[in-house]
Amino acid sequence: MPQDPEDPAQLSTAHRVALLSRDDRIFHVVLAQQFDREFIEELCRLAEMIRSIAEARQGAQFLRTLLGHKRAMLYFIQPSTRTFLSFTAACQVLGMPHNEVRNPSTSSEVKGETEDDTIRVLSQYFDLIIMRHPEEGFAEQMAHMLNRMRRTIPLINGGSGKDQHPTQALLDIYTLLRSLGRPAQEGARPIFSPDPLKGKTIAFVGDLQRGRTVRSLAYLLCRFPGVRMLFVSAPELQIGEDIIEYIERHSIEHEIHDDLRAVIDQCDAVYMTRLQDEWDRDGESRSIDYSSYTITYEMAERFKPGMVIMHPLPRRHEIDKRLDNTPHARYWAQVRNGMWMRAAMIASIFNVDARIIDHYHSYYAR
């Protein structure tokens, strides 16, 4: 039962047809906005179960029996190590064979094929396409096209242009719930606090305009009433107006700031980002003093107890390396969370989540 019934309505009918399968389960994963609160928490619980099961050799072997009969295609046209490897590791956790197209120059495109045709061909060999693409909207467009094929397969958006990165947003939420939501075991299922982010302050710091991870995470946080978001950035790199409007429509408390030092003692979580100067048109970000968007070791005395530092990585100098070995640093854990979350998502798409829950119960039930 969606907690935010208003929102799915904001997606057009075409969207809903594209993104949901006939029985209303998630099918394509394209936009962060497509997830309601219930589904987000369900995925986090599923990720938590997969992680527990994988700890034991027997459990890891069970997981690998789940999707051995399917094949995934990672169509990653934009350079990526982390997201790419996270997805491949997630496939491997579930025993799902995968293949990749990464460098279009080794592909048939040199022979003059359209990218639509490439995707159509890939859909013949594989049962899932995971796509990273520089063009905004391309993943969604391909989801629609796949729906028109006789053999329709699901698609996951692994990052599109400056726009969306929904699976990153989900792993970020999962990291927040794990860190701030005090996960516990209740009978045979892992749970998070009833309203895990209520009253929590989360600061987004750095290049918010061009960081698609921030955009996607902000959408998802609107499913958690009571959260407070701070956007800390140079005015030229502030979060887009469309996001602010979306947040306001959901009556989520938020503030605009331009110096991390001014707000660091209020934060329960700080989400750092690097300067994305590869999107610069004319070196315009060179003049920005990024020290106001850097978290230093000296700030630590002003941290709230249990404050967590996150970063989608790769980082540059915006996090003092001396913070790496403090309990505040969650960016490495965040990486690993991504693998479990992506495995949860793929398991959910292929309807093997029930088998995971059963396995978890039979081992963890008291």
Of 17-25, 63-71, 238-246, 262-270, the window that binds its own copies (rule: CB under 8 A) is 63-71
Preceding omega of 97 cis (within 30 degrees of 0): no
Of 36-44, 108-116, 222-230, 245-253, the window that binds its own copies (rule: CB under 8 A) is 108-116
Q: How far is the CB of 245 from its own copies (least distance, A)?
A: 30
Q: What type of residue is 344?
A: A
Residue 35 or 331 with smaller CB distance to its own copies: 331
Annotated catalytic residue within 16, 69, 82, 321? 82
Cβ atoms of residues 72 and 98 within 8 Å: yes
Annotated catalytic residue within 45, 132, 223, 328? 132
Helix (H) or strand (E) holding 16: helix 13-19
Own/partner pairs, 5-10, CB within 8 angstroms, 24+ separation: 7/33, 7/36, 8/34, 8/36
Cβ atoms of residues 296 and 320 within 8 Å: yes
Cβ atoms of residues 122 and 98 within 8 Å: no
Size of residue set near its own copies by CB under 8 A: 59
In angstroms, the CA 89 to CA 67 distance is: 13
In angstroms, the CA 233 to CA 290 distance is: 9
Looking only at residues 177 through 196 of this chain, which bind its own copies when binding is defined by CB under 8 A?
A: none
Verify binding: residue 249, its own copies, rule CB under 8 A: no
Q: How far is the CB of 61 from its own copies (least distance, A)?
A: 6
Residue 69 or 361 with smaller CB distance to its own copies: 69
Verify binding: residue 108, its own copies, rule CB under 8 A: yes
Structure tokens at 205: 């710091």
Q: How far is the CB of 57 from its own copies (least distance, A)?
A: 5
Structure tokens at 289: 């003093």
Residue 42 or 113 with smaller CB distance to its own copies: 113
Other CB atoms within 10 A of residue 116 CB: 11
Pairing state of beta strands 189-191 and 184-186? antiparallel
In angstroms, the CA 161 to CA 230 distance is: 24
Verify binding: residue 97, its own copies, rule CB under 8 A: yes
Verify binding: residue 283, its own copies, rule CB under 8 A: no
Q: Kindly give the interhelix angle for 212-221 and 166-180, rounded to the nearest 10 degrees.
A: 60
Classify residue 166 by burial, with Cβ atoms within 10 Å: 0-12, 13-18, 19+.
Answer: buried
- Is residue 165 part of the annotated active site? The answer reads yes
- Is residue 114 part of the annotated active site? The answer reads no
Verify binding: residue 88, its own copies, rule CB under 8 A: yes
Annotated catalytic residue within 15, 28, 45, 165? 165
In angstroms, the CA 38 to CA 26 distance is: 12
Of 16-24, 37-45, 98-106, 228-236, the window that binds its own copies (rule: CB under 8 A) is 98-106
Verify binding: residue 291, its own copies, rule CB under 8 A: no
Phi-psi region of 199 (alpha: psi -120 to 50; beta: other; left: phi over 0): left
Verify binding: residue 286, its own copies, rule CB under 8 A: no
Residue selected from 38, 326, 332, 361 as contacting its own copies according to rule CB under 8 A: 332
Looking only at residues 309 through 328 of this chain, which bind its own copies when binding is defined by CB under 8 A?
A: 313-316, 325
Annotated catalytic residue within 15, 83, 167, 294? 83
- Is residue 132 part of the annotated active site? The answer reads yes
Of 1-9, 60-68, 220-228, 263-271, the window that binds its own copies (rule: CB under 8 A) is 60-68
Verify binding: residue 101, its own copies, rule CB under 8 A: yes
In angstroms, the CA 351 to CA 366 distance is: 26
Residue selected from 22, 57, 281, 366 as contacting its own copies according to rule CB under 8 A: 57
Task: Quote the Cα angle for 215-44-275, to 5°.
Answer: 30
Catalytic amino acids? 82-83, 111, 132, 165
The residue ranges that bind its own copies (CB under 8 A) are 54, 57, 60-61, 64-65, 68-69, 71, 73, 79-82, 85-86, 88-89, 92, 95, 97, 99, 101-103, 105-113, 117-118, 120-126, 148-151, 274, 278, 313-316, 325, 332-333, 335-336, 339
